[in-house]
Structure formats: structure tokens, C-alpha cells
């Protein structure tokens, strides 16, 4: 992986006339682990959608740099992987078909291949089962493994332990330990400390909102 950088320049997003957030200046750098924090409704998921490119900012801009050079927007996809509750799997696919389809567009993370991925996900007996018959916890495992084991400079996780039981939460932390390499950017949106306990840098949306209100 290469040196990657994301710069948020006074970004804001609104729906109709209501601002979800405004005036966010922030920088994400290779090798750092970030948590985007805030109560439900504070805009955590919206910030992640804007960073990942699924939403455009209503104001401000986002810049991406690879090895210190500006990266074209149409190239950003190859450098980002994401797992989030609002992202859907193709439920008509079996698990095997879903894995094959996903890795037509993404390369495996260094050290991973199909066999190791299958062993990591822990669903060997469900390879030929249509995803529509999976439990919510099984689907979350699939989303997390697809994102974490894809070769990408940036890994984004929104509420990563949603629908996971106690044992699966331990599995999630082991997955991060195996896949969040030293040079990778990790961004987690959460209001659950257990989900982001390895993060060391924090973007607190409520603090930004309070500062805006005082102006």
C-alpha cells in the first residue's frame, strides 16, 4: 500500500433546508486509526458517505492524495473499501457467487486468498446457500470480510458490530487485527466504544456543532 491522504475542506451537508453538519476541516493520513463519534442522528453515517463518494458535500470540498499527488475522483474507488448497514449484498447470490463477484473488482489484501478468506469468515458450510437465507449476523460477517480483506488504502466501517453477538464481536476484533496493516487508514463511525477501542484519533461531530452554534 502507498501513502494516502484525505483532506476535508470546510465540508457541509444538508437535506432540504436542514444542515446535518457544517464547516468540517479534517485530515486522514496513512497509518492512523480514526473514529467518527456522535449520538444517533448527529451525521456520522452522512460524513462517511460523503468521504466515500456516495454523497456529494453541499458545501466545501474533499481532496485525495496518493504519494503526495492529487488523485482523480474516478480513481478513488480502487483505494477505498467500506462496510455499512445501509450497503446491501446481492441476496440472490450464494456466498460463493458473492465472493467471486466482489473480487472481480477488488484485489485481495496482501496475505489473503480465497481459501484464507473462507476460513476467516467462518461460514464454510454456507458457501452454496443464497444470501437471502442468511441471518443478519451472517450478512454482517460477509460485509466486514469483503471490506477488510480487499486491497485498499482506506478501510471505512460504519457501526461494524451491528447484528453481531458477543462471540462475533470478538471475531470482529480479530479480523481487524489481521487486516488493518500499519500503513492503512481505518475510519470507524460509532457511538459504541467497543467498536473503536483501537482508534487513537477522534472526529467528534457534536463538538463541531457546538462550536458552530457559538459563532
Q: Tell me how many domains the chain contains.
A: 1
Q: What nine digits make up the cell of 25?
A: 476541516
Per-residue DSSP letter, 110: T
CATH of the domain at 114: 3.40.50.300
Distance CA 72, CA 70 (A): 7
What is the H or E stretch that residue 42 is in? Answer: none
Asked if 95 and 102 touch (Cβ cutoff 8 Å), the reply is no
Query: SS3 for 176?
Result: helix
112 φ/ψ angles, rounded to the nearest 5 degrees: -115, 150
Give the neighbor-by-neighbor strand order of the sheet with 80-83.
Answer: 80-83, 154-158, 185-190, 33-37, 201-204
Q: In a structure prediction context, what are the per-residue pLDDT tens digits for the chain, which is 215 residues long?
A: 679 999 999 999 999 888 999 999 999 999 999 999 998 888 999 999 999 988 999 999 999 999 999 998 889 989 999 999 889 999 999 999 999 999 999 999 999 999 999 999 999 999 999 999 999 999 999 999 999 999 999 999 999 999 999 999 999 999 999 999 889 999 999 999 999 999 999 999 987 766 666 56
Distance CA 126, CA 123 (A): 5
pTM: predicted TM-score of the whole model, two decimal places: 0.94
Q: Residue 113: left (phi > 0), alpha (psi -120 to 50), or beta? A: beta
Distance CA 175, CA 141 (A): 10
104: containing domain: 4-214
Amino acid at each position: 500500500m502507498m501513502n494516502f491522504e484525505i483532506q476535508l475542506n470546510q465540508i457541509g451537508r444538508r437535506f432540504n433546508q436542514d444542515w446535518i453538519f457544517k464547516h468540517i476541516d479534517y485530515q486522514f493520513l496513512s497509518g492512523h486509526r480514526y473514529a467518527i463519534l456522535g449520538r444517533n442522528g448527529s451525521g456520522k453515517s452522512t460524513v462517511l458517505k460523503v468521504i466515500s463518494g456516495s454523497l456529494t458535500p453541499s458545501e466545501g470540498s474533499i481532496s485525495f492524495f496518493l504519494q503526495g499527488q492529487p488523485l482523480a475522483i474516478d480513481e478513488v474507488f480502487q483505494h477505498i473499501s467500506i462496510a455499512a448497514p445501509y450497503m446491501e449484498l446481492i441476496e440472490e447470490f450464494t456466498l460463493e457467487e458473492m465472493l467471486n463477484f466482489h473480487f472481480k473488482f477488488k484485489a485481495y489484501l496482501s496475505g489473503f486468498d480465497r481459501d484464507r478468506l473462507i476460513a476467516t469468515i467462518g461460514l464454510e458450510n454456507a458457501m452454496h446457500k443464497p444470501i437471502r437465507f442468511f441471518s443478519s449476523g451472517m450478512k454482517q460477517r460477509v460485509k466486514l470480510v469483503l471490506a477488510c480483506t480487499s486491497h485498499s488504502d482506506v478501510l471505512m466501517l460504519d457501526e461494524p458490530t451491528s447484528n453481531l453477538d458477543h462471540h462475533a464481536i470478538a471475531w470482529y476484533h480479530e479480523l481487524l487485527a489481521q487486516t488493518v496493516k500499519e500503513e492503512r487508514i481505518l475510519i470507524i463511525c460509532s457511538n459504541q466504544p467497543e467498536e473503536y477501542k483501537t482508534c487513537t484519533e477522534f472526529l467528534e461531530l457534536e463538538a463541531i456543532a457546538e462550536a458552530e452554534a457559538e459563532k
